[in-house]
Amino acid sequence: MNPIFSASRWVLLRMSRAGSLGHLVERTAWGRRSVQRFVAGDTIAAAVASAEEMKQRGFLVTLDRLGEASSGARADAYMRDAVELLRAQAVAGLEPNVSVKLTAIGLAEGTDVAARRLDEIVGAAQSVRGFVRVDAEHAASLDQLHEIVIAARAKGLPVGTVLQANMQRSVRDAARLTAAGVPLRLVKGAYDPGADGVGDMRAVDAAYLQLAEVLLNAGLPLALGTHDDAILDALAPRARGVAEAQLLFGVRSDLAGRLRTDGWRVRIYTPYGPDWWPYALRRMAERPANLRFVLRSLFGR
């Protein structure tokens, strides 16, 4: 990796964890403008309006209330927000679909506590014929994630999770999760895999393609979460019309449009909420060119 790129990535990832700096920036008008491209707004109403607009353009949406590690009252508030979000989508005539993170609903308080809050959200999804995707986070949380999701799925609840191709364990996890009937989104992985990593970017791409074949063979609902057109083109003959392509809001909109025209079902993962600072910095760490958008909004267009 280019040393300047890896240094700026390190700085951005460190900044994304600097809470006080984030709170300051989140309150400023220029801070807000800088992330408009990646975040659909601060409120449920803004997120639903954005989803309606995307529906008109032929895209499906999953909405995600931004929030980092929470516990207690904050985790309860995040849970209530996800429930309200599902209902608001149903009222607007949208397919209710949210993505949630276990750390935001109190994983630090224990597996049972997070599972109880997830059950509330998934129960609400069931009552409006919706779906909940539980995002995959850092490696140390994956055993708890799988335990919780497999238990919820065993109760027949509309829930799925995410598999990260950058980890060796994902081959075993794919077998266990598909045997339990858990719908999966396959991604390359945004977290450091540590000693369990499959290797460099080429190795991650190869692992992604292999896992995609395994998951296509399993015959469960499958989402391919990636902006990598080479990967999606390689999988298209088997996956288009069977799996859906998922992209992040504000990233590679050109590709989203092209995939829709080519006949893919395309779902846009759309974050919203006031706590957007760490999320926006992670997107910039993935691609330093995104910094350009921040600077442009700081100094005028």
Catalytic residues: 135, 185
- Per-residue string for binding with ligand FAD, 140-179, x by CB under 6 A? ----------------------x-x---------------
Four-CA torsion 51, 54, 59, 65, nearest 10 degrees: -30
Q: How far is the CB of 262 from ligand FAD (least distance, A)?
A: 17
For ligand FAD, the closer of residues 29 and 105 by Cβ is 105
Q: How far is the CB of 73 from ligand FAD (least distance, A)?
A: 25
For ligand FAD, the closer of residues 17 and 23 by Cβ is 17
- Residue 58 makes CB contacts below 8 A (sequence gap 6+) with 260, 266
Show the tokens assigned to 255.
């590709």
Residue from 103, 170, 226, 297 touching ligand FAD (CB under 6 A): that is 226
Q: For ligand FAD, how many residues bind (rule: CB under 6 A)?
A: 23
- Which DSSP category does 7 fall into? H
Task: Residue 32: count other Cβ atoms within 10 Å of its Cβ.
Answer: 17
Is 216 an interacting residue with respect to ligand FAD (CB under 6 A)? no
Is 246 an interacting residue with respect to ligand FAD (CB under 6 A)? yes
The full DSSP string for 95-152 is: --EEEE-GGGGTGGG-HHHHHHHHHHHHHHHHHTT-EEEE----GGGHHHHHHHHHHH
CA dist 66 and 30 (Å) reads 19
Positions in the binding site for ligand FAD (CB under 6 A): 135-136, 162, 164, 187-191, 225-228, 246-248, 251-252, 269, 283, 286-287, 290
